[in-house]
Amino acid sequence: MTAETPRDLTTKIDGRRAVGARNRERLLNAAVEVFAERGYRGTTTRDIAAAAGITERTLFRQFPSKAALFQEAVAGPVERFFADFRESWSARPRGSRDSETEIREFFGSLRTVLEGERALLQAFLAATSVGDGEGLGDLRTTFTPVIDSLVEIFAVEAELRGWNADHGIAVRLIIGMAFSATVHRDWLFTDDQLANFGYLIDQLTQMTLWGLAGPRAE
């Protein structure tokens, strides 16, 4: 038998990593669908593995528990949004866009991401609120790092634009409005209001920038 060369070993390792990455992606895609359909309590790791077309043993090589898989399925897209937002913000010269444009785009993009994860976020809230989500932790723990990152961005923008609000609270209120307008939309808004996405984003932007009084007349 011919001895394996270092290159052969490297190729094998790279191949295993590629297979592992593909399995992880398949599991996350399957988890999103199954959790959204059945909720946290009604879903088993066997269900997810079957939906992904892999074995349950393979699932546990990628994720130590159902809770860990659910956490990543819920948090992953939102964390990627904040990472992309920070990268986009960092690439722009400071002050290159007016406040209204910055905030409107942020609200619009964030609400689009949350809309895509709405069923999972609802399942998360349901599981933790009734005690069925043992091991899940809470959304505060999950999203604190990305919120803190956004607070840093807000502090820079606030100094540039003369915003005087408490940075940490302001950022959380902004995210909270986008979150509520998405996750709790069914009882908050009428069908007519929900049908006009642009108008809703305009109102969120107006409330953030000018409060109830609206834009000042020039």
Res. 217: pLDDT tops 70? no
Res. 135: pLDDT tops 80? no
Burial class (CB in 10 A: 0-12, 13-18, 19+), 3: exposed
What share of the chain has pLDDT > 90, as a percent?
Answer: 39
Whether 189 and 95 map to the same domain: the answer is yes
Whether 154 and 71 map to the same domain: the answer is yes
The reply to whether the predicted model has a pTM over 0.85 is: no
Q: Is residue 218 part of a domain?
A: no
Residue 133: pLDDT band (50, 70, 90) is: low
19-73 residue pLDDT tens: 778 889 999 989 888 888 888 888 899 999 999 999 999 999 999 988 888 888 8
Higher pLDDT, 211 or 11: 211
Q: Which two structure tokens, joined as six digits, stand for 143?
A: 């999203």
Long-range contacts of 51-54 (CB under 8 A, 24+ apart): 52/23, 52/26, 52/27, 53/26, 54/23, 54/26, 54/27
Total domains, the chain: 2
Q: What is the CATH number of the domain that holds 134?
A: 1.10.357.10
Residue 14: pLDDT band (50, 70, 90) is: low
32-43 residue pLDDT tens: 888 888 888 888
Which residues span the domain enclosing 33?
7-63
Whether 164 and 135 map to the same domain: the answer is yes
Q: What is the CATH number of the domain that holds 30?
A: 1.10.10.60
Q: Is residue 13 part of a domain?
A: yes
Res. 167: pLDDT tops 60? yes
pLDDT at 15: 60
Whether 71 and 58 map to the same domain: the answer is no
Res. 129: pLDDT tops 70? no
Helices 99-116 and 167-183, interaxial angle, to 10°?
Answer: 50
pLDDT at 5: 62
Whether 58 and 118 map to the same domain: the answer is no
Whether 49 and 90 map to the same domain: the answer is no
